[in-house]
């Protein structure tokens, strides 16, 4: 359903240690994604299909904190509508391979949030030569 929170991400300079911190503090399961510096957060470690969020390295210019992801029908349409209302694109539309399209926006007051369009065929476009 559009506008529902899909998951969250936590950013840090040492994600492996941060994963251990949250696993100990909240009992979350942490599953490292093969080939990526990314950990899936399983709020219920007994149910690996219930991914609550992710943990990775902090993007260079992003502030500290957690980022909420909201489900949308179209990342492109949502970006266009948000920009018309005064939002700015912080991170452009990006593919999460075989999962979704995502973009990070800042509302007119500068509050950041991510929009998420599920798409099992999403894949990054090759860089032009």
**What range does the domain containing 24 cover?**
1-71
* Residues 4 and 61 grouped into a single domain: yes
User: What pLDDT is recorded for position 58?
Assistant: 79
* pLDDT, tens digit (0-9, with 9 covering 90-100), for 3-16: 777 788 888 888 88
Distance from C-alpha of 52 to C-alpha of 79, rounded to nearest angstrom? 24
Among 24, 46, 71, residue at a domain's last position: 71
* pLDDT, tens digit (0-9, with 9 covering 90-100), for 15-72: 888 888 888 877 888 989 888 888 989 887 787 667 688 888 877 766 677 788 888 8
Assign 112 a pLDDT band (cuts: 50, 70, 90). confident
* Residues 26 and 12 grouped into a single domain: yes
Assign 77 a pLDDT band (cuts: 50, 70, 90). very high
User: What pLDDT is recorded for position 91?
Assistant: 92
CATH number of 109's domain: 3.10.180.10
Distance from C-alpha of 83 to C-alpha of 89, rounded to nearest angstrom? 8
* Residues 63 and 79 grouped into a single domain: no
pTM score, whole prediction: 0.62
Residue among 92, 65, 81, 59 at smallest CA distance from 2: 81
Task: Tell which wins on pLDDT, 45 or 105.
Answer: 105
* Residues 79 and 60 grouped into a single domain: no
Residue 1 has pLDDT above 60, yes or no: no
Distance from C-alpha of 84 to C-alpha of 67, rounded to nearest angstrom? 22
Number of folded domains in the chain? 2
């Amino acid at each position: 359903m559009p506008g529902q929170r899909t998951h969250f991400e936590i950013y840090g300079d040492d994600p492996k240690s941060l994963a251990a911190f949250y696993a100990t503090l909240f009992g979350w399961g942490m599953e490292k994604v093969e080939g990526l510096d990314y950990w899936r957060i399983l709020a219920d470690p007994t149910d690996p299909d219930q991914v609550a969020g992710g943990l990775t390295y902090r993007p260079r210019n992003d502030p500290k904190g957690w980022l909420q992801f909201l489900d949308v029908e179209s990342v492109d349409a949502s970006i266009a509508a948000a920009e018309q209302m005064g939002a700015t694109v912080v991170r452009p539309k990006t593919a999460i391979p075989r999962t979704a399209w995502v973009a990070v926006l800042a509302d007119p007051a500068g509050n950041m949030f991510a929009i998420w369009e599920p798409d099992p065929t999403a894949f990054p476009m090759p860089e032009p030569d």
